[in-house]
Chain A
Amino acid sequence: MVLLIATFIMAGAIRGWQKTHTEIPPSEITALALSNHRIDRATEARNRGQKVFQHYCAICHGQEGKGDGFNATTLEATMKVKPRDFTSPQFQQQMTDESLYAAIAEGGTSVGKSNLMPAWHKTLGEKKIRDTIAYLKSIQPVVTKPAATE
């Protein structure tokens, strides 16, 4: 009977060892299927805002928000106005949530800028504008390296 008990214990130990030592390879397809789902709400908001930006804003403000969109050259040439560059460090310093919201929702004139920036509150609604602001804040400013001192 002792032998019987010993056999069972051995079998359990071997099974346990097998479970921890067999390499279960990572599943590529599971990683792909979950890639859009295990993200936090802030990232979700930024992703939604990026989609809004690409569709409505990028044509003037550029794919990366540098103010170099397809329409920017024409605007500069014929209207002497440049779309905002969201990556410039000066802008990143001076922008606030309220000023961004006012500019997007009520148009450029509400923050003392050109009327060529339209008012979007009726087209987008508050939620989409907030998401876009979240995205704009995530656009990294262009880092200018300090001059090397020798």
Chain B
Amino acid sequence: MRSSSVIWMKILLLISSLSCLGYLVAAAYQENFTSSWRGYQQQYAERLTDRANAEGQTPRDYAIEVRQIYLEDWGIIDRCVICHVGIDDPAMRDQPLPLAVHPGDLLKSHPPDRFGCTICHEGQGRATSKDAAHGNVPFWTKPLLTGDFVQASCTKCHQEEEVPQAPVLSRGRKLLVERGCVGCHQMGKIEVTEKAGPRLTSIGSKVSRKWLVKWLANPKDYLPHGKMPRYDLKPQEVDALADFLMTFRHDSIDAMSEPVGDYDAGAVVYREGQCIVCHVTKLDHADKPLGGEIGPNLMKLGNKVNSKWLAKFFKNPHEFLPHTKMPRYHFSDKEIVDLTQFAMEEWVDYDLLDAEEIEPEPPAATPHQIESGKRLYAETGCAGCHDLTDDDKKPDGPDLTYIGSTPVHQLTFGDAPVRHTLPDFLYTKLKKPRSLQRAFRLSSTESPSESLWRGLRPLASFSGAANLPDGSESQRLKWIFERTQKSGVLKADLEMPTNNSGIQAEWLLQELNKSGALNPLKMPDFQLSDDDAAALTIAMMSLSDVSAPSKRFEVRPKPKTFFNTQDGFGELERRYRCASCHKIRDSGELLASDLTWEGSRANRDWLYHYMNNPYSMRRTITIAMPIFHFPDAESKFMADYMSQVFVDRQIGIGWQKNRDHADPKRGQALFNEKGCLACHQLHSKGGDVGPSLTTQVPEFPHGTWVGDKLRGEWIYDWLKNPQAMLPDTIEPNLGLSEQERLDLTAFLLSLKNPEFSGNQTPKNEPLKKRPK
């Protein structure tokens, strides 16, 4: 080698060595002396100094050093506070990140020195630079959670149904059961209490085949807000499934005679039953659906069910739907027949009915069709939501018990243009399940026709099919193509190219991939709204393998109290389903009044009277408790029971002691002064927000006044603090003194209806219809 090139080599080596060394020194300096966290702590120290100077105090020394939170139980070391220095300093409220204080008041119940940061927010706690700490580095599987995503971490400790301050999570976990996700996927602690859809054991006697075919093709045509998803079944598959399901009949229904009743009498039964409280039964003046959303929309009921089933259902809904909220009314046989007549005539879409009548009758079901339908029922996974036979197998969707801890590299994103994160995967899967499927590829170890046939075999249409015939590759591809057309997988008007088998195979692969037949997905499109899908995503992110290290951290749900349901009252509650509208202790709904202290609130005689003659509390509202026509013994029993059991003896002690000092005339003056008439009606004046004090509603001739209904003890305590008795009430707390409350109570108790004769009021008068 020439000496000059050797010298050049040596110089080059020297330069590159020195620059490497210099780079290493610079990096070491940057990491230890000019790291970003030092800058933030410096800023914080300056703020502290400014604040101390502003308040005239001597500034304390603030050391710039590595800070961390060590949680021994969890084995966690969190160094987030190295940059997020002001996280628990309320004075840092208006500072930009990372100095800003933690929003909300969660740190009061979760102080950083006991809970750190990563338990809730994930990320890489031990890192000291921003990207690394937030987990935005390759191979860190738990990136930082912000916004609503943080709620996914609550279930590490919280086991309540409604996790406080985590509304999206709580709603999502409820939806997992309601929408039937738990029916097909294992989800560990989330159990199926009852299946999401109704029992189908007598479906053949309930619906018409024509309705069933339309329903299976697209449920949302009949019930736009229904839960059942659309399964994208081919017409032949729908027919087979319908034929199979229609074989499940109910002998006693089939043996009944056709009920023929009186429409007008049925209309009275309908009004008394107050069906509209739970069901949409008509359109309002603006053509919008009117009625409750607890039960299904009934407006097209006559197109769906047959009248014999409906009559049997009215007699005892609990036989068909054991967990329904619908009560079992005391309908006489005539009333049932009348109500059925009314329902079948009133709740019908006549255009749909006319269209159905000109449809051709379907061919009779062959055993082959029924067998095909049975296979289809099992393969589609209907047993995930519906009970049919005893040997229904639960469909085996992927186990989602630990989906929240699945690392991203184990998820299949296919070719979809989606960010590769867990929430994006879950959200996209929920909104468009098929978009994440990988396109089927031909295997290199077998011929194209063998590959394609292997890919098609899992489909229900081919599960009983023969093997590939012998012959040339082109012949076999043609055979596959014909079968896919016959079963409806590919459209009938498609034509296979007649070139060589290579092009034919490519074409067939492309068409079959487009149709979704290869790598078929059993999960249907639930047509979820964005909000529902977001809630479900966060609920699934909470299904993780991390849990609290000891019982000290677990937050158990408070047991829900009800009342002793083994009593005679319990039997009545199960029949009339009081809890569908009334709250009793922690159970039930607040559609109607809270009955928890009804015995302390209302007079026993009034309760007995109201059971027999329910009425609306407000002038402009016609909805009230249904007229159940209780037998006299039952209404007496319920009135007595509530008066003695649903009682709180602490209520109104002040009233009992001082009622002699109460002056009703002063009370009346107070009533006028405080403006109670804004919300309460008294005789012909006043507003309609709270219950009327002198109920006079034309449809309900037996309304009573407040002095007949309420007890003084309760009124006295209510006026002291309404929100303590009923947290969401909008009655204002007027800060009344004790004497004012005594006087007002005395005045209100003096308002008694002279026509109310206590427990001798007539009962069972038909409900009058409001004149239009």
Contact = CB atoms under 8 A, between A and B. Distances in A.
Interface of A: 23-25, 27-30, 32-38, 55-56, 59-60, 70-71, 74-75, 78-79, 107-108, 114-120, 122-123
Nearest to B730: A56
A36 B421 contact: no
Contact of B687 (A25, A36, A74): A74
B771 interface: no
B677 A116 contact: yes
Contacts of B449: none
B734 interface: yes
A115 B673 contact: yes
B326 to A, nearest CB: 28
A33 B149 contact: yes
B674 A32 contact: no
B286 to A, nearest CB: 15
Interface string B713-737: 0000000000100001010111100
30 contacts: A23-B417, A27-B421, A27-B423, A28-B530, A30-B424, A32-B148, A32-B531, A33-B538, A34-B147, A36-B147, A38-B147, A60-B678, A60-B689, A70-B689, A71-B689, A74-B688, A78-B681, A78-B687, A79-B678, A79-B685, A116-B677, A116-B678, A118-B678, A118-B732, A118-B734, A119-B732, A119-B734, A119-B735, A122-B733, A122-B735
Contacts of B538: 33
A25 B678 contact: no
Given A60-B689, A71-B689, A79 B677 contact: yes
B537 interface: yes
A27 B419 contact: yes
Given A27-B424, A71-B688, A108 B675 contact: yes
A74 B211 CA distance: 46
- Range of interface residues on chain B? 35 or more
A23 B531 CA distance: 26
Given A71-B679, A79-B685, A116-B677, A25 B418 contact: yes
A83 B681 CA distance: 17
Contacts of A55: 728, 730
Choose among B531, B677, B732 the residue with the greatest number of A CB atoms under 10 Å from its CB. Answer: B732
Contacts of B530: 28, 32
A56 to B, nearest CB: 5
Contacts of A27: 419, 421, 423-424
B55 to A, nearest CB: 23
B534 A29 contact: yes
A115 B148 contact: no
A116 B675 contact: yes
A107 B533 CA distance: 44
**Which A-B residue pairs are the 5 nearest by beta carbons?**
A116-B678, A29-B427, A34-B147, A115-B675, A33-B148
A122 to B, nearest CB: 4
A106 B111 CA distance: 38
Interface in B370-427: 417-419, 421, 423-424, 426-427
A123 B148 contact: no
B38 to A, nearest CB: 28
B686 interface: yes
A34 B146 contact: yes
A25 B733 CA distance: 53
Nearest to A59: B689
Nearest to B534: A32
A107 B537 CA distance: 46
A19 B671 CA distance: 73
A78 B147 contact: no
B732 A79 contact: no
A59 B8 CA distance: 90
Interface in B423-466: 423-424, 426-427
A71 B427 CA distance: 43
B230 interface: no
A37 B427 contact: no
Given A120-B732, A123-B723, A28 B673 contact: no
A122 B723 CA distance: 11
Nearest to A58: B730
B732 A37 contact: no
A138 B734 CA distance: 28
Nearest to A124: B732
B522 to A, nearest CB: 23
B84 interface: no
A70 B688 contact: yes
Nearest to A118: B732
Nearest to B149: A33
